[in-house]
Structure 1
Amino acid sequence: MSKRPPRRLRPDEEALWQRVAETATPLHRTTLPKPTDIERPKRTPKTPVVEPVSPFSIGEKAQTRMTHDIAPSMADQIRAAPVAMDRKAFGRLKRGKLSPEGRLDLHGMTLAQAHPALNRFILGAHAQGKRLVLVITGKGKDRDAGGPIPERLGVLRHQVPHWLQIPPLNAVVLQVSQAHIRHGGGGAYYVYLRRSR
């Protein structure tokens, strides 16, 4: 579509415009500033913040190691979970006063081996009427090479609570808690099962 040129004002429209223009009071400036007249603030180049680095010799180990893990630890996530079981029994469980009726040791297993073993063990314990079992994952080895993709410390330790919260195990699991130091501490979990019906 082509644009039409603006139409000219008729004489009566032009006279009306002149009368309106005579009654208008001008603004403080009679002309608008040109874009070149406006002063722009000068940019100052940003200087990078350089943190002081301690002296380092060849062959020396680094003092600190950066971690990429910004997610809360599994212990913090489990601690923040609401208590679904009896509070008095939960307190005794946390103090290590309750004895597990069964235990599963997942040390040395891969994820592909550990998942079916955990399913078999938990479902079997529930079928036998057990209420408290211990799942030992170990604390895991530090395998993070400091690359761009972070690797978690203790893959099984982080994966087992997730498996306990999804089907088919979530139907029989009532509470998951980190074990007391007597039963393995940070490398083991108490799994409190629902009553079998």
Structure 2
Amino acid sequence: MSYPEDEDDSALFLSAIGEVKRLPPVEAPATGKPRPKPRARMAEQDEALALGEFARLLRSAAPLEAGDVASYRRENLPARMFQRLKRGQYSVQDELDLHGATTSQAEALLREFLLEAHAHEFGCVRIIHGKGLQSDGGAPALKNLVDRMLRLRNDVLAFHSAPATQGGTGAVLVLLANR
């Protein structure tokens, strides 16, 4: 079928579909109360599961002492990358200092810090937790908190106590996963 070239496309379309009957506009029902804000229910469930897992880890694992090295590596991370992290050969792109924070404050600060680091696509960050020498006779609380929390996060590929020039056993270098 051929059409004359002087007819425009919209006229051809209208002639092909025929007469159009317009539908009346649909009005939204008035309920009187505003719709609730959406909630991230799955994220809340994941957070609750992680907190339960965190509490289990704190009870089951032997706590780190002041001079102990904190170290963790996912199986899929090449050993060479982990060695570079242990030597402090990655450029630290951001730092969080937890000195003086309570464990609940430190937990919230660490979660927020890691979210921001991930959003900025940082590859390596340093977390200063202190050696815990001021702890009341017990194990260093912040050091153990950081160790346990980092092990539970999917975006953490590895961490290791920093070299002596970067904080030693009072800080950890963390290698983060890309998006």
TM-score by length of 1: 0.53
The 5-angstrom pairing of residues 86-105 of structure 1 reads 86-105=78-97
Q: Residue 124 of structure 1 aligns with which residue? A: 116
2:105 match = 113
Which whole-Å CA distance do the structure 1 matches of 2:164 and 2:69 have between them?
Answer: 16
Please tell me whether Structure 1 or Structure 2 has the larger radius of gyration of its CA atoms.
Answer: 1
Q: Percent of aligned positions with the same letter in both sequences?
A: 34
1:156: which partner in 2? Answer: 142
Q: 1:99 to 1:77 in 2, by over 3 A?
A: closer
Structure 1 stretches of 4+ with a deviation exceeding 6 A read: none
Which residue type is aligned with residue 111 of structure 1? T
Partners of 1:105 and 1:136 within 8 A in 2: yes
Deviations 1:39-74 (CA, angstroms, capped at 9, x unpaired): xxxxxxxxxxxxxxxxxxxxxxxxxxxxxxx93636
Name the residue aligned to 1:73: 64
Higher RCO by CA contacts (8 Å cutoff, separation 6 or greater): 2
Name the CA shift for 1:123/1:178 in 2 (closer, same or farther; >3 Å).
same
8 Å CA contact 1:96, 1:182 repeated in 2: no
Contact 2:88 2:163 in 1 (8 A): yes
TM-score when normalising by structure 2: 0.58
* Structure 1 residues 109-130: Cα deviation after superposition (integer angstroms, max 9, x where no partner): 0011111110010111011111
How many pairs does the alignment contain? 116
Q: Structure 1's 142 and 112: CA in aligned 2 closer, same or farther, altered over 3 A?
A: closer
Secondary structure (helix, strand or coil) at the match of 2:71 reads helix
Pick closer, same or farther for the CA change 1:82–1:126 going to 2, 3 Å: closer
Structure 1: runs of 5 or more not aligned: 1-69, 145-150
CA distance in structure 2 between the aligned counterparts of 1:191 and 1:77, rounded to whole angstroms: 11
Structure 2's unaligned 5+ residue stretches are 1-60
